[in-house]
């Protein structure tokens, strides 16, 4: 996983007015939670934070107030009009500590081309060391036949990472083309149906 260092600022003013001033200055207000400590209020540079969050499960090393803190992004809110980050919640972690996170699942390998691949879940939940969270996991589709499925238990996990999702959670299903076409036809509205004939007087 990626670890990115960012210099943050300690926030001493709170409320909507202070948050607006931070955003005008190109900063994103944030709060760090975790380990039973009091929440820590910080502001992060928007440009650096935006670049960092393009990576899945990025680990941030924040420097502020003469100390550094390892954190994982928990939730981000955006301005509904501009889409720009408006606030971020962060979870403090320590090296060696294990956390539960959602990790994207990528697929590889050749499956039966007579089927239509359906992605039922694009992420699975794993229990991993905070500084070694995989950026993504790979599910091998080699030999998958139409009508068959692969599950969370089929995703290969790196050493030290444990599955937290239900092992039988369906990740992908390879539908038979005939069945898929029938289901789509049944679900589609009858757009071309002829109008009903007027009732006889």
What is the full per-residue pLDDT of the chain (201 aa) written as tens digits? 678 999 999 988 877 888 888 888 999 999 999 888 899 999 999 999 999 998 888 999 999 999 999 999 999 999 888 888 999 999 999 988 999 999 999 999 988 888 899 999 999 999 999 888 988 999 999 999 999 999 999 999 999 899 999 999 999 999 987 654 555 555 555 545 555 545 544
Query: Topology of domain 3-93, per CATH?
Result: Ribosomal Protein L25; Chain P (2.40.240)
Task: Identify whether the C-beta of residue 130 lies closer than 8 Å to the C-beta of residue 72.
Answer: yes
CA atoms 172, 175, 181, 184: torsion sign: negative
Listed by start position, the domains of the chain span 3-93, 99-187
What are the C-alpha distances in Å from 176 to residues 113, 117, 150, 182?
Answer: 10, 9, 15, 10
CA atoms 7, 11, 15, 20: torsion sign: negative
> CA–CA separation, 165 vs 152, rounded Å?
7
Task: Identify whether the C-beta of residue 135 lies closer than 8 Å to the C-beta of residue 2.
Answer: yes
Q: Rounded to a whole number, what is the distance in angstroms from the first to the last CA of the chain?
A: 75
Its pTM stands at: 0.71
What is the CATH class of 99-187?
Answer: mainly beta
Q: Tell me, what's the pLDDT at 201?
A: 44
> CA–CA separation, 64 vs 8, rounded Å?
5
> CA–CA separation, 9 vs 86, rounded Å?
16
């Amino acid at each position: 996983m990626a670890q990115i260092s960012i210099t943050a600022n300690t926030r001493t003013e709170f409320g909507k007015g202070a948050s607006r001033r931070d955003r005008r200055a190109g900063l994103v207000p944030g709060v760090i939670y975790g380990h039973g400590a009091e929440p820590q209020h910080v502001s992060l540079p928007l440009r650096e934070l935006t670049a960092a969050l393009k990576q899945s499960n990025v680990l941030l090393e924040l420097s502020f107030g003469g100390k550094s803190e390892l954190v994982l992004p928990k939730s981000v809110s955006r301005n509904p009009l501009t889409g720009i980050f408006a606030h971020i919640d962060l979870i403090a972690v320590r090296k060696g500590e294990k956390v539960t996170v959602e990790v994207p699942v990528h697929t590889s390998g050749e499956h039966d081309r007579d089927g239509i691949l359906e992605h039922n879940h694009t992420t699975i939940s794993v229990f991993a060391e905070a500084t070694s969270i995989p950026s993504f996991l790979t599910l091998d589709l080699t030999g998958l036949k139409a009508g068959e499925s692969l599950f969370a238990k089929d995703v290969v996990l790196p050493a030290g990472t444990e599955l937290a999702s239900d092992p039988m959670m369906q990740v992908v299903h390879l539908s038979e083309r005939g069945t898929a076409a029938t289901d789509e036809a049944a679900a589609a509205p009858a757009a071309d149906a002829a109008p009903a004939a007027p009732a006889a007087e």
